[in-house]
Structure 1
Amino acid sequence: MATTDPHLDSVCIIGAGFAGLITAHTLLRDGFTNVVILTRDKSVGGVWQSERVYPGLQINSLIGELSFSSLEMPQTKTLGDRMTGYDMNVYLETFAARYLDGKIRFETEVVNIQRDVSEEGWLIDVTDKRTDKSEILTFRRLVLCTGGCNTPAVPESLSPSAAAQAGFKGPVFHSMYFRSRLDDVLAAVRPIGPDGRDAADSIVIVGGGKSGQDIAAYLANEGRKVTVVCERIDCYLASSKYVPSFLRKSSRVFSVMSPHITLRSHLERFLHTTWLGSKIVHAFWNLIKGSAFMAVGVAKDSPLRRINSPFWTIHVSDEGVPSENRFHMLANTGKIDLAIPARVETYGGDGKTLILKDGSVLRADAVILATGYSSSWNSIFDKETSATVGLERRAPTSRAAKYHWDYTSLAYPPPAHPDAMKWITPIYRGIVPAKNIALRDLAINGAVYSGNYGMVCEVSAHWISSYFLGDKMRIPETAEKALEATERQAAWIRQRYPDTLPWVNESYTSSVSLPTWPQTVDDLLEDLELPSMRSGGNWLTWWSKPVNMKEISMLKEERDTRRHLEGPRQRPHVVALFHRKPA
């Protein structure tokens, strides 16, 4: 299977969402001749696939932020400068039709992945969902772009099977299936009467994240009684009027106000390592939080104030200018009921209630579980392969205690989750399993949790292409050094976001850089030995310059030039520590 020219190596990309499409496009532009995308879906899009998007699904990003440099995002009047799930779906389908025709195998379920030790590469067991025919495909290289929103995480006590066992009479399903089950919900739950009197019927949404909020808003606008139950809702940003683009649209304002693992500039060092700088940083984030309450008109005793500080959490939604038909305004005016703080324990025995942790009873004729997702890798790798390749969590070593950042802006963190020190996710840069780094035959795209998914995924795709081509890069040469780097990264995440590591979904959050995505892009560019901090400006104004996708539109040409000057590395070979599982 191996060739002397890496361009001739076969490459399998699993997933036809945002990350999978840009990875395939980048590899093809770089001259890889045998690139195939496998997806279990009927069309492209992943999270924004046509069978998953639903009315009211609003994306946090502004027009142009969630796009690729090779295809401009068209303007839309749906939500002003905001995008909907439908906008994203159309954009991705347009991109795939233009650049990836014939490169995607649809309705192809990946059942299992193993190493092929007889030759360098991978054995991928797939099933055609249309014919139920199974086959084993072989590829030299593999890119996981499965994302983190494909495998629902549902507490067993709230699962559909638990509901059926308890005799619950209404529909129960995860929010992932809202589009396909929407008609079932509307049929099962009567609307509120025309006189404003509440119908007896009620929909309960378990979870206060973005999907739960969007679904609650849609159902309330359809005239249904909706109750959201959660410990706290996601932090939200909002303003009473549109914010200038240099502050809002992909600028470095938010990024410099959030510390990164490395502080590159004088401004960042001032803000995060001095007493006065720390005061400015936290005043900024408190102002952001307070302005959201003011924009929505939230009362001081409202459950809508039960959110984490936007400085300390990665659960942040950007509402822009609040609208009367969106979640926060609907909840603030009583059109959506909030049970906060509360936790659903189980189903009642009468077929139409939920029992909360405090013993109280909540009427429910339909239950939607917006309870998050688990890693999409669990279903395609057996435990032996996952451990051998280096995808599984691992316990930190004794050296973890030596990593600490004396940033004044991090001086007074919220309480850490009790499980925060139990493990790390050993994925270098969120792109390569550290244990596998020297082999250059496996990569991941879409697992860096960031505030600009478009730019991070596209730069990551270039990083992956250079990695596969054997280009000279500033990356650890050995698995041990890469593992040490991931341990340092995990220590940073624990200090920066004390409650994050215990619940991370590795296929979506192998690395975390929500407001600091510009610094993450800089890290990746410097790995490629290319110029970073490309937005322009001088020493005084650089932080206010909007980051534009045009900054990375010539990365291929820049990498080609470096390769010509430096020459390629010697291609690596799979070593004998991998063992194929017996048939």
Structure 2
Amino acid sequence: MTRIAVIGAGFGGIAVAHLLRRAGFADVTIFERAGDVGGVWRDNTYPGCACDIPAPLYSYSFALNPNWSQRFPPRAEILEYLRGCVRQFGLEGLLRLGTDVTEAAWTGTAWRLSLAGPDGATGTAEFDVLVPATGQLSRPVVPAIPGAGDFAGRVTHTAGWDPGLDVTGLRVGVIGTGASAVQLVPAIAGRAARITVFQRTAPWTLPKPNRRYGRARRALNRALPVLMRASRTGTWWLTVVTGRAVVGHPVARRLVGAISAAQRFVQAGRLRRRVAPDYAMGCKRVLFTGDWYRTLRAPHVDLVTDDILRIAGAGVHTADGAVHDCDLLVYATGFAATEFLTPLRVRGRDGRDLHDEWRDGAYAHLGIAVPGFPNMFLMYGPNTNTGNTSVVYFHEAQARYIVQAVRAIAAGGLLEVRPEVAAEFDAEMQRRLSTSVWTGCTSWYRTGSGRIVTNWPGMAAEYRARTARLAPGDYLAGVTSRR
């Protein structure tokens, strides 16, 4: 019996575990260091946290949900959806919650995992196949600001928000204007005494056409599942338009850019110039919002575009000489997306360290397989992020490919991608990315050296097609594939 270890119980881990079980592989264990499933939707509890991809597409194709309350559901609903999927798929018995995998080492015949349990106990376990599904958005980033450690008030990152934190009457400073800030600031503006938003670069935005799904719509979804399929298909085609804009189609880019400019013109008022991006659309993540600009115009909200120099006491000092006093400082500064699998230590064939292998930037064939690391397959690996559609679509494509890989292992024992195949794929990715919109600014898509290691350079349909069938020739001689 093939023993399979999945690390992480977010969207990716749940998808691959379910499809493996459905394919007949019974010996699957899901290790999750937290006490619950859900990944980013478990960890991010800040006010306003919600999906910015429409729910019909931000869900599994094999588990469409008739009960979404709105097109862009709040994080609590997404978390409950994932919990429900675990129950529906019968995965509860596979979970090892509160168990951290600290190291994975290839022994020559199996993967030996070093484990740390919730009670401090440690141990090891061996598996034939290793599937890291730890995601790209699990390690929060906090910028190095002089004096930040001595801030006199309370400090939090959006990913570490305490649900019991009450902002009523507080002076809140928010550093960053990315996706979490665009959701958080409007959500707390009615309670905080004053909000100061520190903007380094203005985001590109698009209107967020949210609407509630009433009881009648939910009942129809349950009675006629074809309606959910139709909604998913329609949403997919909308993301094709935005996707073409991001990857450089001139007509699509002009159209989407004009919609964004119109939104700023209508909603930003006197702030239009200050919130206008100075880089190409898509270079950073495009944000969907209906209330960001209106909130910035509120009398008790200040937009600061001067650089932060230092923090002293309760004050944030900026380059214009101003001091902005805050009771609460919120870092809405995102994640270390380019540091794949950190801090997990992974040692492959001949003891090679994966992070040494990736010292110049992470890479993997199809974002899934790394030479020198047999029987290891990544979920949401390098160059599989999407800047325009649902990452769940990519997760499903990867999970289906991994099922084929495990079938090959069950038949032949080992599966290791050829170094030249992985190198050729990586060269293609970097060649295509070198002329992409993502080279025009600094973002979480790029390493410090400028290498783009997160994003897929084309459309999502291309990725699905390229992962649809495992090619035995991509792997070392003596290994066969069986579907």
Does the TM-score normalized on the shorter chain lie above 0.5?
Answer: yes
2:223 is matched with none
2:117 is matched with 128
Contact 1:124–1:138 (CA under 8 A) maintained in structure 2: yes
2:98 is matched with 107
Contact 2:346–2:353 (CA under 8 A) maintained in structure 1: no
Per the TM alignment, residue 75 of structure 1 is displaced from its structure 2 partner at its CA by: 3.7
| Residue identity matched to 1:229 | F
Contact 1:204–1:227 (CA under 8 A) maintained in structure 2: yes
Distance 1:303 1:37, change over 3 A: same
Contact 1:39–1:106 (CA under 8 A) maintained in structure 2: yes
Q: Is 1:10 the equivalent of 2:3?
A: yes
Contact 2:445–2:455 (CA under 8 A) maintained in structure 1: no
Task: State the distance in 2 between where 1:345 and 1:60 align.
Answer: 32
Contact 2:340–2:362 (CA under 8 A) maintained in structure 1: no
| Residue 64 of structure 2, aligned match among 53, 60, 72 | 72
Distance 1:141 1:372, change over 3 A: same
2:324 is matched with 362
1:555 is matched with none
2:362 is matched with 425
Matches within 5 A, 1:72-471: 72-77=64-69, 80-99=70-89, 100-117=91-108, 120-129=109-118, 131-157=119-145, 163-164=148-149, 166=150, 168-178=151-161, 180=162, 182-184=163-165, 186=167, 191=169, 201-238=170-207, 249-251=235-237, 252-259=240-247, 278=250, 280-294=251-265, 296-299=267-270, 301-306=272-277, 308-310=279-281, 312-319=282-289, 322=290, 326-340=291-305, 342-348=306-312, 351-374=313-336, 375=339, 377-381=341-345, 388=352, 390-391=354-355, 423-433=360-370, 435-436=371-372, 439=374, 441-447=375-381, 448-450=384-386, 451-470=389-408
Task: State the distance in 2 between where 1:456 and 1:360 align.
Answer: 46
Distance 1:227 1:297, change over 3 A: closer
Task: State the distance in 1 between where 2:260 and 2:137 align.
Answer: 27
Task: State the distance in 2 between where 1:85 and 1:17 align.
Answer: 13
2:218 is matched with none
Runs of 4+ in 1 over 6 A off after TM superposition: 239-242, 244-248, 382-387
Distance 1:185 1:55, change over 3 A: closer
Q: Secondary structure at the match of 2:51?
A: strand
Task: State the distance in 2 between where 1:382 and 1:425 align.
Answer: 13
Per the TM alignment, residue 88 of structure 1 is displaced from its structure 2 partner at its CA by: 0.5
Distance 1:457 1:67, change over 3 A: same
Q: Secondary structure at the match of 1:42?
A: coil
Contact 1:345–1:356 (CA under 8 A) maintained in structure 2: yes
Q: Secondary structure at the match of 2:197?
A: strand
Q: Secondary structure at the match of 2:85?
A: helix
2:222 is matched with none
Structure 1 unpaired stretches of 5+ = 1-7, 192-200, 261-271, 273-277, 396-422, 530-562, 564-568, 573-583
Task: State the distance in 1 between where 2:174 and 2:395 align.
Answer: 31
| Residue identity matched to 1:113 | A
| TM-score, structure 2 as length reference | 0.81
Task: State the distance in 2 between where 1:140 and 1:343 align.
Answer: 51
Distance 1:135 1:61, change over 3 A: same
- CA deviation profile, 1:416-466 (whole Å, cap 9, x unmatched): xxxxxxx54322222222x247x3x11111242122112111111001111
Q: Is 1:55 the equivalent of 2:47?
A: yes
Q: Secondary structure at the match of 1:183?
A: coil
1:522 is matched with 465
| Residue 492 of structure 1, aligned match among 428, 432, 451 | 432
**Number of equivalences:** 440
Contact 2:429–2:457 (CA under 8 A) maintained in structure 1: no
Q: Secondary structure at the match of 1:148?
A: coil
Contact 1:128–1:134 (CA under 8 A) maintained in structure 2: yes
Q: Secondary structure at the match of 2:164?
A: helix
| Residue identity matched to 1:58 | A
Q: Name which one, 1 or 2, has greater alpha-carbon Rg.
A: 1
Task: State the distance in 1 between where 2:8 and 2:72 align.
Answer: 25
Task: State the distance in 2 between where 1:332 and 1:386 align.
Answer: 59
Q: Percent identity?
A: 18
Per the TM alignment, residue 384 of structure 1 is displaced from its structure 2 partner at its CA by: 9.1
Distance 1:357 1:376, change over 3 A: farther
1:534 is matched with none
| TM-score, structure 1 as length reference | 0.68
Per the TM alignment, residue 376 of structure 1 is displaced from its structure 2 partner at its CA by: 5.4
Per the TM alignment, residue 13 of structure 1 is displaced from its structure 2 partner at its CA by: 0.6
- CA deviation profile, 1:353-388 (whole Å, cap 9, x unmatched): 112245432212211112222235221116999993
Contact 2:106–2:348 (CA under 8 A) maintained in structure 1: no
| Residue 478 of structure 1, aligned match among 398, 418, 423 | 418
Structure 2 unpaired stretches of 5+ = 212-229
